[in-house]
Structure 1
Amino acid sequence: MFCEQCEQTASGQGCHQWGACGKGPEVNAVQDLLVYCLRGLAPVALRARQLGIPTRETDVFACEALFATMTNVNFDRKRFNRYIRDAIAIRENLKAQIQAKEPTEWSALSCYEPNFQESLVEQGQDVALQFITQSGQNVDIFSLKLTVLYGIKGVASYTFHAQELGQEDDRVYSFIHKALAALDRQNLTLEDWVKLALKVGEINLRAMELLDAGHTSTYGHPVPTVVPLNARTGKAILVSGHDIKQLEALLKQTANQGITVYTHGELLPAHGYPLLKQKYPHLYGHYGTAWQNQTKEFAKFPGAIVITTNCLMPPHETYDEKLFTIGSVGYPGINYLPETDDGTPDFAPAIAKALEMPGFTRDEEPRQVMTGFARNAVLSVADKVIEAVKGGKIRHFFLVGGCDGAKPDRNYYTELVEKVPEDCIVLTLACGKFRFFDKQLGTIGELPRLMDVGQCNDAYSAIQIALGLAKAFEVDVNQLPLSMILSWYEQKAVAVLLTLLYLGIQNIRLGPTLPAFISPNVLKLLSETYHLKPITTPDEDLAACLG
């Protein structure tokens, strides 16, 4: 196998025998085969669009299928076999409609069909080797091809969630197909690939904007909210992942059943949406920390557990019977809840499991954190922020966020936040915050020193905060007293980083290690153009940021 799409690749160079995420070489191969089939579908979808043939089914399918190939989403070979069959069927259906309008010749890639009577694993290994070798000896172009592919996976995941909430933009769907089709082009220069990678960042900004609109138009703008970390007596269901729409679907189906619903991981910010909390009082608190701790935390949870998106670790037998997956998420032998006609799963099996289990038998000692500091909440007090900065009460802002992971060197982020001076404010988002989300950093005037902006896709909100403050101060965003110190793990983080580079954000510090798929020359380009740099030590980085 060859996989270097996440931060925890073996020795920082790529996984070649078994994935550090728990993905085996056979699953990796069928994922590669699915991506190959989506690359062949892309030119067909683009031609259909030009001829006015509807492609929405194709667009949504491509996003869901790409999402399934992301790190820690789906480990189930059988599900990928079905995705591959569906990709071929959708492609051939579109080709027939195109042929009815005009005779068209297709490339070998758009005519490729796996032999379903033979090993799909071996065929996936063959196309993966072909992809590696087609760039010849140009390591830098291959590096940027991987950057585009991984970035577009992140875009697809945000786009898929946005369409669930009724927010779509045809330009986003079209670009996803264009980027996939470009991976087969041999006439693009290094400069072309750099432009395409930055275009991924531009389109991802739009995808995050759509998802933000879906969340805020459905559930209201987040407001600062106290979230209990302590359990209360009663039956319980834990919901992990990112999908707030599917969280609401579960809340609807558990209403008046005597079940308390807890969030886990990236669903913590769901508590900040006022219309969600008002409508479902049994959405109570948050349980556990980041995704990589789930094997210990899930084993202890006395109820059913539902995984809505990525960040699934190979489950232990201590809790696999109470674990349920939905959407693109899957693992062999684990309960899967397929969608019903209205697009939401029937959670009855998970509810029955929760009622069967003991639940929490006592109220735990109260503990709490706050979330809900999205752009409206922060910019509504922009005048107080500006006054505090001009008055010398706030010296600097640190955006410390991104993905969490299992490597011990991620303790850097905890130590950094603990050492941030008392006249500085920390904004955070995504699961990286679980390294320090329960730290009591106090306040500066009425402003908390630690503000949770939201999920990884709420990087859009953080960007709007930065742009809003820059406008209020009448300076360029890079002139703000703001430093971005980011952690990354998977492909959504790649998409977000490309968005920040597209916006021209300078001096980003990235860790705990740099992507294995970034070649030395590409890293040099990013360093010279954007001053992108790896993290060093908390003391050194704080000293450099504070000047």
Structure 2
Amino acid sequence: MSMFCNQCQEALRNVGCDAMAGVCGKTSETANLQDLLIYTIKGVAHFNQIAREHQLNRKETDRVVLDGLFTTITNANFDDQSIMNKIEKALTERETIRLSLVDQGIIDSHQLLPDYAAWSGNRSVFEAKSEEKRVGLLAGENEDVRSLRSLILFGLKGMAAYAEHALNLGFTKDEIIAFVEKGLLVTEDDDMTADELTAFVLETGKYGVDVMALLDEANTTSYGHPEMTEVQIGVNSDRPAILVSGHDLKDFEELLEQSKDSGVDIYTHSEMLPANYYPAFKKYDHFVGNYGNAWWKQKEEFESFNGPVLFTTNCIVPPKASYSDRIYTTGSTGYPGFRHIPDRVDGQKKDFTEIIEHAKRLPAPEQIEEGTIVGGFAHNQITQLADQVVDAVKSGAIRKFFVMAGCDGRMKSRDYYTEFANELPNDTVILTAGCAKYRYNKLPLGDIGGIPRVLDAGQCNDSYSLAVVAMKLKEIFELNDINELPIEYNLAWYEQKAVIVLLALLHLGVKDIKLGPTLPAFLSPNVAKVLVENFGISGMTDVETDMEAMMS
């Protein structure tokens, strides 16, 4: 059995992982099952789009679609049993909707259906079915069509992740879920031309803005607006602790509440760092700070942490045996042998008792660094500093802003971003979000008149905040075009949430984005040419050359 996967920045040879395992560590069996899960969800979307037209769609279906897409994001789920469970659930959901439509006389039970809406079978057929060419990313003969379909699909995966986080907090919009379903079907529509698919790519960006705005509303309504915060990065206690990774703030809240009188401390890791910025979480005395850096350093950092680690979302790195028995997953995540905390049932909270009790039996974390870092500069906080920022720009104290948001990763070439930040002139400010910030958020870059030179808005979804700030500055300076602002974009990407952020920026009209460390493998030469010619997207070269071009 072989696989083909080109959805992340680590795609082998910048073409695609096509052997027995991917660079991320997932096996070919896992990769193919993930393709089959997406294929099956397209069948759910086929019938649910009809159900929506007749107001017969169910809320349960939304979670099946979103969770299925989220499960297939890079480094989220490596557990074949978990993925097969989700395929079975999707098949059941698809059949439930179909029978409902038949019973209502809306569709004929004998009508001819596309394969993704008709195939069925138990686990004994999953492997063979998952290897069919029409199931995976290589379906279709035209390279440009495949490329555009991939761009849409990967954008939908990012949208689904953000929509699921919002849904967990009780926030949803039917039009967003309906668009996700529509997009899944577009990737199977052989009648759509490359031009029509290109237009749909940009429409995906529009809904990307909408879903990030929805999640921003969900997070800030639930936990308050992020505020400028000094975060401890050392270990200041001899108490046992739990380390929380990922992005889901609802999981984080429930763990904090259930552990508050347990004698166990809570630390954030990687993309959970911005939880430190929310007012609602500051009331918990046992929430003591952040431990470690970006996701790809987890092998050494989980080793020294000593306590249990909770993955609320991606990014999982296949673990060392020495600490694998203290890793827990929840939500869409999974890994063979890891203990999984079940989903909420009937509105009840998740039960984190097992991981809390586990922590009590383990030693305290070892110190790996000390000091503090400052963050919490989402759009509400920066708006409060608007007069100070505008004055600094008008006086020339701030010459340019550099948006250096996105993902971090393992490649040596990503040292570029640390060097770029170090070499930026002292009259520039970095706007960041996502785990890319770990390349420079601990550098001694100082401030400009009290404004830190690294303004961290939060998680990757908080790239929305950076867009809000840009639009606000455009209004303040009475400009006609967002590209007239003194803002340059030097973005790093790794997985599919970065794809939807990029499409959202394109929808907002942002041009001349530098994207690295490599352009996506799923862009065909012709599709890449369109992005370059229409939007000025380019790859990174070297720090000196890029710096000169962006400062000119």
- Note if 1:538 corresponds to 2:543: yes
The aligned residue for residue 103 of structure 2 is: 100
**Cα deviation per residue 1:426-469 (whole Å; 9 max; x = unaligned)?**
11110011111111211111211111111000011110011111
Counterpart amino acid of residue 107 in structure 1: L
- CA–CA separation in structure 2 for the residues paired with 1:366 and 1:32: 43
Q: Secondary structure at the match of 1:118?
A: helix
TM-aligned CA deviation for residue 182 of structure 1 = 1.2
Corresponding residue of 1:482: 487
Offset, 1:198:
0.9
From 256, 266, 272, the equivalent of 1:267 is: 272
The structural deviation recorded for 1:304 is 1.1
| Greater shift in the superposed pair: 343-352 or 168-177 | 343-352
Instruction: Tell me, yes or no, if the aligned pair for 1:33 and 1:127 is still in contact at 8 Å.
Output: no
Deviation at 1:151, TM superposition (A): 0.7
Q: 431, 436, 439: which one pairs with 2:440?
A: 436
Deviations 1:270-323 (A, max 9, x none): 111112212x12111100100011011101112111010010111111101111
Q: After superposition, where does 1:156-167 map in structure 2 within 5 Å? A: 156-167=160-171
Native 8 Å contact 1:304 1:323 kept in 2:
yes
Structure 2 CA distance for partners of 1:110 and 1:129, relative to 1, 3 Å: closer
Distance 2:112 2:208 in 1: 29
Q: Determine the structure 1 residue equivalent to 2:414.
A: 410
Q: Flag the 1:106–1:253 CA change in 2: closer, same or farther, 3 A.
A: farther
CA contact 1:263–1:287 (8 Å) conserved in 2:
yes
Contact 2:378 2:457 in 1 (8 A): yes
In structure 2, the residue matched to 1:112 is 118
Q: CA–CA distance in 1 between the matches of 2:417 and 2:134?
A: 35
Superposed displacement of residue 118, structure 1: 2.7
Alignment of 1:55-454 (within 5 A): 55-102=58-105, 103-104=107-108, 105-109=111-115, 111-116=117-122, 118-128=124-134, 132-133=138-139, 135-136=140-141, 138-233=142-237, 234-278=239-283, 280-341=284-345, 342-360=347-365, 366-454=370-458
CA separation of 1:76 and 1:365: change in aligned 2, threshold 3 A: closer
SS of the aligned residue for 2:436 comes to helix
Deviations 1:151-180 (A, max 9, x none): 101101100111111111100010011011
Query: Offset of 1:127 from its aligned partner?
Result: 4.5
| Structure 1 residue 366 displacement after superposition | 4.2
Post-superposition offset of 1:11: 1.1
1:119 CA displacement? 4.0
Which residue in 1 is equivalent to 2:533? 528
- Distance in 2, matches of 1:432 and 1:128, equals 35
Are the aligned partners of 1:291 and 1:311 in contact in 2 as well (CA < 8 Å)? yes
Write the letter of the residue equivalent to 2:7.
Answer: Q
In 2, are the aligned partners of 1:232 and 1:364 still within 8 Å (CA)? no
Secondary structure at 1:454's aligned position in 2? coil
Question: For residues 457-468 of structure 1, what are the structure 2 equivalents within 5 Å?
Answer: 457-468=461-472
8 Å Cα contact 2:35-2:135 kept in structure 1: no
Secondary structure at 1:401 match in 2:
coil
Q: Alignment partner for residue 16 of structure 1, among 12, 15, 18?
A: 18
The AA in structure 2 aligned to 1:56 is K
Structure 1 length normalisation: TM-score? Answer: 0.97
- Once residues 450 and 517 of structure 2 are traced to their aligned partners in structure 1, the CA distance between those partners, rounded to angstroms, is 33
Assess, with a 3 A threshold, how the Cα gap between structure 1 residues 318 and 47 changes in structure 2: closer, same or farther: same
Change (3 A) 1:269 1:106: farther
SS at match of 1:402: coil
**SS of the counterpart of 2:189?**
coil
Work out whether residues 114 and 123 of structure 1, in 8 Å CA contact, stay in contact via their aligned partners in 2: no
State the distance in 1 between where 2:275 and 2:311 align: 15
Alpha carbons 1:37, 1:112 under 8 Å: kept: no
Could you tell me which amino acid in structure 1 is paired with residue 13 of structure 2? S
Question: What is the one-letter code of the residue matched to 1:269?
Answer: P
- TM-score when normalising by structure 2: 0.96
Q: Are the equivalent residues in 1 in contact too, given 2:406–2:435 (CA < 8 A)?
A: yes
| Secondary structure of the corresponding residue to residue 432 of structure 2 | strand
Distance in 2 separating the partners of 1:369 and 1:305: 22
Name stretches of at least 5 consecutive residues in structure 2 with no aligned partner.
none
> Which secondary structure does the structure 2 equivalent of 1:451 belong to?
strand
Task: Encode CA deviations 1:104-161: one digit per residue, 9 max, x unaligned.
Answer: 335132542343253412210114567624x22x211110001111110110110011
**Cα distance in structure 2, aligned partners of 1:411 and 1:212:** 30
Aligned pair count? 543
- Paired with 1:242 and 1:130, the residues of 2 have a C-alpha distance of 28
- Answer yes or no: is the 8 Å Cα contact 2:376–2:458 preserved in 1: yes
Contact kept? 1:426, 1:449, Cα under 8 Å: yes
Identity over aligned residues, as a percent? 39
In 2 relative to 1, CA 129–38 (structure 1 residues): closer, same or farther, beyond 3 Å?
Answer: closer
Q: 1:152 to 1:111 in 2, by over 3 A?
A: closer
Q: Give the Å deviation of 1:379.
A: 1.6
Distance 1:365 1:326, change over 3 A: closer
Distance 1:96 1:431, change over 3 A: same
1:410 & 1:343 partners in 2: Cα distance?
42
Alignment check: 8 A CA contact 2:39 2:135 kept: no
SS at match of 2:404: strand
Q: Deviations over 1:240-263 (max 9, x none)?
A: 001111011100110111111000
